[in-house]
Structure 1
């Protein structure tokens, strides 16, 4: 079995990624967000979009325990409340909940106290507010430093909920600026909207754990807005899941594939944790073991 990784603005418009190609993110456009995305996998030996040799290793994984990374950057098409954007796993069909799963969920909640889930529903999900779930969040001004309304003419002219397979990359660069292959967590950049908004010393040296605790309250998240006038970068990574084998080591070790009944592992960012009517998708990434 070989690992295939696909991504796009929705689960119905995915494209196979060239994993570990940090210099060439896929570009996508959803109803909520225009952005770019890269996935990294330690020891990747899976499927590539054009059958070329996979990129197996990256310096990115040196001296860290993480086994995969999802990195996204882009701009929102309208302001979005910090309490209305969630990231996590979702499934289209019921899953077999393994014995000892509660141990794993307790560990997950120790890492991210805001995580919540409905794993026994017809369409199970495990979600957390983006402000708490992401390991890294940063933000900066777009190239033109103009408002979203002024920038509308420079936005990539591709249809909503599509992947930019033919759009000139320079169009995305003019709208978002150059792709940043490595980003750092920066709470000060996240919170400020103007240079004079907040004193830098208040937040410059706060950790991701501090950010998670800060935004644990729904009231605090409601007071934060993702602006359409900023470029945001997000990264999620973890040491527990080896997608090359679909083995999860989180307190207990087990084969995830046996419990998913043939489903992929999908990470989704959307405006409602349970999805469904009224929920807008920002992006989706799927990990799937397939026959070679």
Structure 2
């Protein structure tokens, strides 16, 4: 069934597809997004990409970098952003949401799969997949794989972290000013320690995403295979297309007032990435 579909990736500042632009998957060229909330640049990479435009490379040198080769990562969305207003660390979330119910399309064993995801991938993930507008969100601070803190009011993060072949490539840490901020806030230097630190709500509440400061993030893993439309978890493989109901699956980052940016992957729109404020969470 998967072979009957092609992916297309678009990005824009809202759900309105007329405001989106096509993202050149696996290209080092960044896609820029500007809104009243945010200025952002992003790269999307998909291993064994089979989609639009048809001239797109099937892979990126990003996947040959030591970290990603070791992990056997299958996709990545890297983005740098600068907010127009300061947002508390507990209010910015990252995850998936849908426009319509999916409760009748959930596969057998979903609750087991979700427990694996919570234990193995993102312990901070929460939400309600049985709602009329289902969602699964985790705090951006603990969900994102890489967090790189840049300078304030200098707008140089993208240029300094661009790889001529791979595009935006960030490492955990920051520039001199960013590292000083991490130290002053007691944020661990290592990725796993930083993620664990921000699973604590009090620690998130003491942090602010500052207006005018640049941040670099990377989200990646080996579990989603967009070529075969498969979710591969330890001991569990789910054929996504078997349960797909035709609506987009969105990976979002958001706050209370609205979306900041979104990138949409679809058979021709399966997954979306956006930034918005945290909604009220109901645990599964």
TM-score by length of 1: 0.77
Cα deviation for residue 197 of structure 1 reads: 7.8
What CA distance in whole angstroms lies between the structure 2 residues aligned with 1:175 and 1:78? 18
> Any stretches of 5+ residues in structure 2 without a counterpart?
163-167, 270-284
CA distance in 1, matches of 2:49, 2:130: 31
In structure 1, which of residues 7, 10, 13 is the aligned counterpart of residue 14 of structure 2?
Answer: 10
In the alignment, what sits opposite 1:41? 46
Q: Give the structure 1 partner of residue 147 of structure 2.
A: 137
Distance 1:66 1:196, change over 3 A: closer
Counterpart among 94, 100, 106 of residue 97 in structure 1: 106
Alignment partner of 1:198: what SS?
A: helix
Residue 137 (structure 2) aligned to one of 123, 127, 132? 127
List runs of 5+ in structure 1 lacking aligned partners: 146-172, 273-278
Matched ranges for 1:44-83 at <5 A: 44-48=49-53, 53-62=55-64, 63=69, 64-83=71-90
Over 3 Å counting, the alpha-carbon distance change for 1:74 and 1:199 in structure 2 is closer
CA gap 1:61/1:196 in 2 versus in 1, 3 angstroms: closer
Distance 1:197 1:219 in 2: 16
Deviation (angstroms), 1:30: 2.5
Aligned-CA RMSD value: 2.6
Q: Which residue in the other structure is 1:284 paired with?
A: 262
Structure 2 partner of 1:26: 31
CA distance in 1, matches of 2:78, 2:36: 19
Q: Which runs of 4+ in 1 moved over 4 A?
A: 173-179, 190-197
Quick check: which has more Rg, 1 or 2? Answer: 1
Q: Secondary structure at the match of 1:141?
A: strand
Per the alignment, in what secondary structure is the counterpart of residue 231 of structure 2?
strand
| TM-score, L = length of structure 2 | 0.79
Aligned-partner SS, 1:54: coil
Partner of 1:218: 201
Determine helix, strand or coil for the equivalent of 2:149: strand
The structure with higher relative contact order (CA 8 Å, sep 6+) is: 1
| From 213, 228, 233, the counterpart of 1:230 | 213
